[in-house]
Amino acid sequence: QAVCGYGSQDALPFRAIKEGELYFQEDREVNLVELALATNIPKGCAETAVRGVTCVSPPPAAVPSAVSTLTDDLLKYYQHITRAVLGDDPQLMKVALQDLQTNSKIAALLPYFVYVVSGVKSVSHDLEQLNRLLHIARSLIQNPFLCLGSYVRSLVGSVMYCALEPLAASINPLNDHWTLRDYAAMLLSRIFWTHGDLASGLYPQTLLSLQKVLADPVRPLCSHYGAVAGLHALGWQ
C-alpha cells in the first residue's frame, strides 16, 4: 500500500537493517513550536511520496473553507495562543487556555488547533509538552461555541495515544507519565460525554481498542494501565 505524504516532493528516506531484509523510515527531531506556528495545515492527501511503487492516490479530502479565508487577526491570535501555551510563562499559558475555552470567534481556527494537538506523536519524549497539548484539547472540547464535527476523531486519536502508547518519556522511572495517562483518560470520557452525538460511531471502536490493549500480554504495564484508566473513565457500562 502506498504511503501518502502531505506535499512532500522527496521520497521518504528508508534505511536497511544489516541483519535482514528490513527497511525503516528514519525519524527526525521535530520542533513542536515551529510546527505549530508554520500554519501549514494539511489540505487532504497529496501525491504519494514513495518511489518505485505504481499506485493511484486517493482523492483529496475536502478542505475546510475557513482555512483558506483566515484574516490576519485570526492568524495573529493563533500564533499568540500557540506561543503562550507552548512557552515558558505558566500564567500566560493559563490565560491563553482560558480564552481558548471561552472565545466565540475562533471556529475558523479549529483545524489549526486540532493539527497542533496531533503533534503528540512528535514529542512522546517530553511529558510537559504532551500535557500542554492535552490542555489545548481540553479547551477545544469545553468551548461551547465550537462544533468539533469530524475533528472529534482526530482529538480522540491524540488522547488515546497519550493514554495507551509506551511513550519515550516512560523509559525514565522518574517521569510521572501515569498522571498524563489519567488525564488523557479523563479527556476521553469528557469527549464522549459532551460530544456523544458526534462520536457515537467512534465509541465502540474506542472500547475495542482499549480492550485489545488490555488483553495483549506483549504490551508493557504502562499501556495496560492506560487501558484500565480509559475503561474506568468511560464508566461501568
Assigned domain for 117 exists: yes
Assigned domain for 69 exists: no
Q: In this predicted model, what pLDDT tens digit does every residue of 137-158 receive, in sequence order?
A: 999 999 999 999 889 999 999 9
Q: What is the model's pLDDT at position 113?
A: 95
CATH number at residue 151: 1.25.40.770
Assigned domain for 32 exists: no
Count CA atoms closer than 13 A to 95's CA, side-chain side: 9
Distance separating alpha carbons of residues 6 and 118, to the nearest angstrom: 14
Assigned domain for 208 exists: yes
Distance separating alpha carbons of residues 228 and 138, to the nearest angstrom: 21
Assigned domain for 9 exists: no
Q: In this predicted model, what pLDDT tens digit does every residue of 97-116 receive, in sequence order?
A: 999 999 999 999 999 999 99
Assigned domain for 223 exists: yes
Assigned domain for 42 exists: no
- The residue that leads in pLDDT, 207 or 1, is 207
Assigned domain for 14 exists: no
Q: In this predicted model, what pLDDT tens digit does every residue of 186-215 receive, in sequence order?
A: 999 999 988 877 777 888 999 999 999 999
**pLDDT surpassing 50 at residue 23:** yes
- Please state the rounded mean pLDDT for residues 64-71: 56
126 contacts: CB under 8 Å, gap ≥ 6:
169
Q: Which domain holds residue 230?
A: 110-234
224 contacts: CB under 8 Å, gap ≥ 6:
213, 214
> What backbone torsions phi and psi does residue 25 show, to the nearest 5 degrees?
-90, 130
Distance separating alpha carbons of residues 150 and 136, to the nearest angstrom: 17
Structurally, the chain folds into a number of domains equal to 1
Do 138 and 195 form a contact (C-beta atoms < 8 A)? no
